[in-house]
A and B are shown apart, each in its own frame.
Chain A
Amino acid sequence: MAGTQETHDQVAEITGDYKYGFVTDVDMEMAPKGLSEDIVRFISAKKEEPEWLLDWRLKAYRAWLKMEEPDWAKVNYPKIDYDDIYYYAAPKSQDKPKSLDEVDPELLRTYEKLGIPLAEQEVLAGVEGARKVAVDAVFDSVSVATTFREELKKAGVIFMSISEAVHEYPELVQKYLGTVVPQRDNYFAALNCAVFSDGTFVYIPKGVRCPMELSTYFRINAENTGQFERTLIVADEGSYVSYLEGCTAPMRDENQLHAAVVELVALDDAEIKYSTVQNWYPGDKDGKGGIYNFVTKRALCKGKNSKVSWTQVETGSAVTWKYPSCVLAGENSVGEFYSVAVTNNLQQADTGTKMIHMAPGTRSTIISKGISAGRSQNSYRGLVKVLSGAENVRNYTQCDSLLVSSESGAHTVPYIEVKNPTAQIEHEATTSKISEDQLFYCRARGLDEEEAVAMIVNGFCKEVMQHLPMEFAVEAQKLLGISLEGSVG
């Protein structure tokens, strides 16, 4: 049982504590606390943004002022004081690092601790035949390093921080920014539009299969800051890209806000695979601290035969509010959502997906696995909608919940709205606990209870895990074990 032993060692090594809970001591440059038009202008000026982007931000800010924080999700948290947050925090460094050598070594050490191979040579020096992954690392509000840029450029792939892209490819950014998640979309998205600090921009040109996996690593470090990153991925006709996203934050007693927006656009015959391992600091055993993760992720399958696949493993955050969605506007386009959400202690997760079938022949698959331990609350919330013009739509949805403790809650709230008779929609959901028989079977074969639970949980999640890229799958499997540590018995 090498795999189990490994997980076990890892658990022992960190004794169930949050592995990424360290703080990096770097000089920070911060805007004053609070939110106003001036702050929006400040952020925009700091990034030397063009006029159109400032106007775009201000429009979002003004819309946000008139909006109300949503309260329909099954999550409870104290009211957020939006004036008590730093909206801009950047590591003080040279204006723009020309190469990794110029990046603050303290930062690089942070990423090293996180296990992110930022320096290209590290990857190159790795095991022969190891897959290359290009990384864009976002530290608090700014992108600090993007690797493998040259190699990607040769393939025609644009992979850079969004603030750079605004300068280098303004027409591309302007063409797609906000087309999938407009400024007024929802409260947190509007906030993000107004104050987004950085994020990643990816453009895959026509017919190009991106030669390596692209990855962004998000890290909140500074105190009292919100992180508002924005990711925009455009896959042009016939292209393919696999994109990975990871995130961590230090352990702090107070809650921190993370309100990101991710927009994906897939044109004719393009495919985007987007994988997330979300491991923000979840708070301690008594629910103190932790990240509030309010994220809007949406994909527009604009072209015919396009495909977007979301895979997420959610183990972190005190509160998660996240519904990666697909708008299937192109004929025969495909949307997929594979999700594992684990909650322990006092974590609350309200997550799911929306599949909006607008065009004929569109198909979607939803597989969601929720695991609740401790005193946590875990909800699946999803919508499958078929518009009247969309003929021959297919959807299959499966949401299963596993209860590991008697004090936790598991909730399923799926919506099905169909306006076309040719649609075939299937939905199944189950909620149950780990079967005593399975536990007994494992234990009779010499596994202790914790190992047995880890094994059963991994089996429960297998259908989702197999959609993760290799490196992520291994990490995610370990994370599951760690997240459930201490929840058994």
Chain B
Amino acid sequence: MPDTVIDTYQEQMQELQGSLPGWDGARSNALDRLRTIGLPTTRGEDWRYSDIKAIRNTAFGLMKTPARNPQVPEALCDVAARLVFINGRYHEGLSDLGDLWQAASVRPLANHLMANAERVSEMRQGGDGINLLNTALMRDGFVISIPAGIEIDDPIEIVHLTSDADSTSAHIRHLVEMGEGASATVLERFVGDDTAYWSNSMLQARITEGATLNHVRLQEEGANATHTATAMVSVGAGGNYHATNISLGGSLARFEARVRLLVDEANATVDGVALAGTGESHDMLVHIDHRMPNTTSDQIFRTVADARGKSSFQGKVTVATDAQHVNADQSFKALLLDRTAEANAKPELEIFADDVKCSHGATVGELDEKAMFYLTSRGIDPTTARQMLVEAFTDDAFDRTGNDTLADGIRARVADWMLNHTGGSND
């Protein structure tokens, strides 16, 4: 990446000095490292299916508060609390913590770091260029800490809104801590207008013994947006991490989930649906690292791509030496709706223990003509038929959101998407 771009980020970093207590050192280290390694290119394995040339060669400005607050989308289900971020900054007035504060600790990142200077070291500071820039330029985020034994039924919703943000970027970091036996659902939503912005977020979660975190992401960024997001998760004994990523918006969208199963019986399920509209590129990368025996994981991914759309998936499962009795499954299916659509998959297994059961399956194809014929011969018009088939195709991946109303809300979103993307150029 050009030096001028780094220099611009250097200036932005200086502007942010002191904004997060104890974080300035991490910022400048990250930027130094970025200067050496640069932002990822398609030559690197992890980014081979996402070409972020546009980001690499231009310096994005720091996102500014818009003149007018954008419309906050309606909740998809009852929520325990709603945290609203506008152009990368927490907006207290639009947020509603409900009764959540009585049961759990929920506070902005700056307050957390102010009160717990020693916790800085627990925050991820390294990683690839995208992660480094998040470290160098992060300004806001939330820390959600659910105490031992507490179960929060309704999702905690975090809404990220972006508007009037041409050529600017926001770098957000959330931390989620699940005490022993605690359970909660964190629903992250991303909504934006048509300006060409870049949203780069990271969520770090620590799931301790017996705790469960449902992490649902509904990504509906604007049509010209670039969306990069990373989830860094560690799971303790008997803990569960369930992620469901729904990728609907943006011109280039990428979600990376890196999950470490650190103690016996830790479990992770990472599911996802990506609907790549005209000319869009959606990329999902999952790495599940089975460090200990008796850990389990499962992944279900379904992607659909329309004209010039590209859906990509890299799913890696590693099993460490002596991590016996590991079960790991993975299923990836891609549907291509148009002649110019593209699907890429790289389901990878890296196994160093012998008493394991690991498998993956991957398929790529188009809608089943017979099924289409069957439906249309029963009087269903082709558009509806196609919509039904795509819904059925993606449905497997919504089963583990942990909330039926939420799952239905997501299904409705997928159905809406299908109304606008029926593999048009073929008809």
CB–CB A421/B321 < 8 A: no
User: Taking the nearest CB of chain B, how far is it from the CB of A178, in angstroms?
Assistant: 26
A82 at the interface (CB under 8 A from B): no
Closest to A411 in B: B350
CB–CB A412/B349 < 8 A: yes
Q: Find residues 345-386 in chain B having any chain A CB closer than 8 Å to their own CB.
A: 345-366
B344 at the interface (CB under 8 A from A): yes
CB–CB B361/A416 < 8 A: no
B341 / chain A contacts, CB cutoff of 8 Å: 419, 421
B275 at the interface (CB under 8 A from A): no
CB–CB B364/A431 < 8 A: no
A413 at the interface (CB under 8 A from B): yes
CB–CB B357/A410 < 8 A: no
CB–CB A413/B346 < 8 A: yes
CB–CB B359/A429 < 8 A: yes
CB–CB B358/A432 < 8 A: yes
CB–CB A405/B364 < 8 A: no
Q: A388, A404, A423: which contacts B354 (Cβ < 8 A)?
A: A404
Q: Find residues 361-419 in chain B having any chain A CB closer than 8 Å to their own CB.
A: 361-366
CB–CB A426/B351 < 8 A: no
A289 at the interface (CB under 8 A from B): no
A406 / chain B contacts, CB cutoff of 8 Å: 321-322, 324, 353-355
> How distant is the Cα of A429 from the Cα of B359 in the complex, in angstroms?
5
B352 / chain A contacts, CB cutoff of 8 Å: 408-409
A227-268 interface bits toward B, Cβ cutoff 8 Å, 1 = contact, 0 = none: 000000000000000000000000000000000000000000
A415 / chain B contacts, CB cutoff of 8 Å: 344-346
B338 at the interface (CB under 8 A from A): yes
B342 at the interface (CB under 8 A from A): yes
CB–CB B350/A409 < 8 A: yes
A339 at the interface (CB under 8 A from B): no
B334 at the interface (CB under 8 A from A): yes
A38 / chain B contacts, CB cutoff of 8 Å: none
CB–CB B360/A428 < 8 A: yes
Q: B321, B334, B336, B360: which contacts A407 (Cβ < 8 A)?
A: B321
B339 at the interface (CB under 8 A from A): yes
B356 / chain A contacts, CB cutoff of 8 Å: 403, 431-433
B340 at the interface (CB under 8 A from A): yes
A185-228 interface bits toward B, Cβ cutoff 8 Å, 1 = contact, 0 = none: 00000000000000000000000000000000000000000000
> How distant is the Cα of A423 from the Cα of B350 in the complex, in angstroms?
28
A458 at the interface (CB under 8 A from B): no
Q: Find residues 259-317 in chain A having any chain B CB closer than 8 Å to their own CB.
A: none
A75 / chain B contacts, CB cutoff of 8 Å: none
Closest to B343 in A: A418
> How distant is the Cα of A386 from the Cα of B345 in the complex, in angstroms?
12
B11 / chain A contacts, CB cutoff of 8 Å: none
A72 at the interface (CB under 8 A from B): yes
> How distant is the Cα of A406 from the Cα of B351 in the complex, in angstroms?
10
Query: Known: A413-B348, A425-B363. Is A72-B337 also a contact (CB below 8 A)?
Result: no
Closest to A425 in B: B364
Query: Known: A427-B363, A433-B356. Is A421-B337 also a contact (CB below 8 A)?
Result: yes
CB–CB A410/B349 < 8 A: yes
CB–CB A416/B350 < 8 A: no
B118 at the interface (CB under 8 A from A): no
A422 at the interface (CB under 8 A from B): yes
B45 at the interface (CB under 8 A from A): yes
User: Taking the nearest CB of chain A, how far is it from the CB of B257, in angstroms?
Assistant: 19
User: Taking the nearest CB of chain B, how far is it from the CB of A187, in angstroms?
Assistant: 16
A414 / chain B contacts, CB cutoff of 8 Å: 345-348, 362
User: Taking the nearest CB of chain B, how far is it from the CB of A341, in angstroms?
Assistant: 15
CB–CB A428/B340 < 8 A: no
B343 / chain A contacts, CB cutoff of 8 Å: 416-418
CB–CB B362/A427 < 8 A: yes
User: Taking the nearest CB of chain B, how far is it from the CB of A381, in angstroms?
Assistant: 9
A161 at the interface (CB under 8 A from B): no
User: Taking the nearest CB of chain A, how far is it from the CB of B27, in angstroms?
Assistant: 32
CB–CB A429/B347 < 8 A: yes
User: Taking the nearest CB of chain B, how far is it from the CB of A390, in angstroms?
Assistant: 11
A424 at the interface (CB under 8 A from B): yes
A420 / chain B contacts, CB cutoff of 8 Å: 336, 339
> How distant is the Cα of A383 from the Cα of B365 in the complex, in angstroms?
17
B360 / chain A contacts, CB cutoff of 8 Å: 412, 427-429
A5 at the interface (CB under 8 A from B): no
User: Taking the nearest CB of chain A, how far is it from the CB of B46, in angstroms?
Assistant: 13
Query: Known: A406-B322, A431-B356. Is A411-B351 also a contact (CB below 8 A)?
Result: yes
A433 / chain B contacts, CB cutoff of 8 Å: 354-356
B358 / chain A contacts, CB cutoff of 8 Å: 430-432
A368 at the interface (CB under 8 A from B): no
A403 / chain B contacts, CB cutoff of 8 Å: 351, 353-356
A422 / chain B contacts, CB cutoff of 8 Å: 366
Q: Find residues 47-67 in chain A having any chain B CB closer than 8 Å to their own CB.
A: none
CB–CB B344/A425 < 8 A: no
Query: Known: A427-B363, A429-B360, A430-B358. Is A412-B342 also a contact (CB below 8 A)?
Result: no
B349 / chain A contacts, CB cutoff of 8 Å: 401, 410-412, 429, 431
B340 / chain A contacts, CB cutoff of 8 Å: 388, 419
Query: Known: A406-B324, A425-B363. Is A418-B354 also a contact (CB below 8 A)?
Result: no
User: Taking the nearest CB of chain B, how far is it from the CB of A389, in angstroms?
Assistant: 10
B354 / chain A contacts, CB cutoff of 8 Å: 403-406, 408, 433
User: Taking the nearest CB of chain A, how far is it from the CB of B196, in angstroms?
Assistant: 26
User: Taking the nearest CB of chain B, how far is it from the CB of A487, in angstroms?
Assistant: 11
A407 / chain B contacts, CB cutoff of 8 Å: 321
Q: B322, B338, B346, B353: which contacts A416 (Cβ < 8 A)?
A: B346
A68-83 interface bits toward B, Cβ cutoff 8 Å, 1 = contact, 0 = none: 0000100000000000
Closest to A74 in B: B350
Q: A409, A419, A424, A426: which contacts B342 (Cβ < 8 A)?
A: A419
A386 / chain B contacts, CB cutoff of 8 Å: 364
User: Taking the nearest CB of chain B, how far is it from the CB of A324, in angstroms?
Assistant: 20
Closest to A373 in B: B354
> How distant is the Cα of A423 from the Cα of B339 in the complex, in angstroms?
10
CB–CB B334/A418 < 8 A: yes
> How distant is the Cα of A388 from the Cα of B346 in the complex, in angstroms?
19
Query: Known: A72-B45, A425-B363, A429-B347. Is A418-B355 also a contact (CB below 8 A)?
Result: no
B338 / chain A contacts, CB cutoff of 8 Å: 421
Residue in A421, A430, A432 with the greatest tally of chain B CB atoms within 10 Å: A421
> How distant is the Cα of A418 from the Cα of B339 in the complex, in angstroms?
11
Closest to A428 in B: B361
Q: Find residues 424-446 in chain A having any chain B CB closer than 8 Å to their own CB.
A: 424-433
> How distant is the Cα of A417 from the Cα of B346 in the complex, in angstroms?
9
User: Taking the nearest CB of chain A, how far is it from the CB of B275, in angstroms?
Assistant: 15
Q: A410, A412, A421, A429: which contacts B336 (Cβ < 8 A)?
A: A421
> How distant is the Cα of A415 from the Cα of B355 in the complex, in angstroms?
26
Closest to A406 in B: B354
B366 / chain A contacts, CB cutoff of 8 Å: 421-423
Residue in A72, A424, A431 with the greatest tally of chain B CB atoms within 10 Å: A431
> How distant is the Cα of A433 from the Cα of B325 in the complex, in angstroms?
10
A419 / chain B contacts, CB cutoff of 8 Å: 340-342
CB–CB B351/A416 < 8 A: no
B121-155 interface bits toward A, Cβ cutoff 8 Å, 1 = contact, 0 = none: 00000000000000000000000000000000000
What 14 additional pairs, Cβ within 8 angstroms, besides A406-B324, A416-B362? A388-B339, A403-B354, A412-B349, A414-B348, A416-B344, A418-B334, A418-B343, A419-B341, A427-B345, A427-B347, A430-B359, A431-B356, A431-B357, A433-B355
**6 closest A-B pairs by CB:** A421-B336, A403-B354, A421-B366, A427-B362, A425-B364, A416-B345
- 7 A-B residue contacts at CB 8 Å? A408-B354, A416-B343, A417-B343, A419-B341, A421-B337, A422-B366, A425-B362
Q: Enumerate chain A interface residues (CB-CB to B < 8 A).
A: 72, 386, 388, 401, 403-433
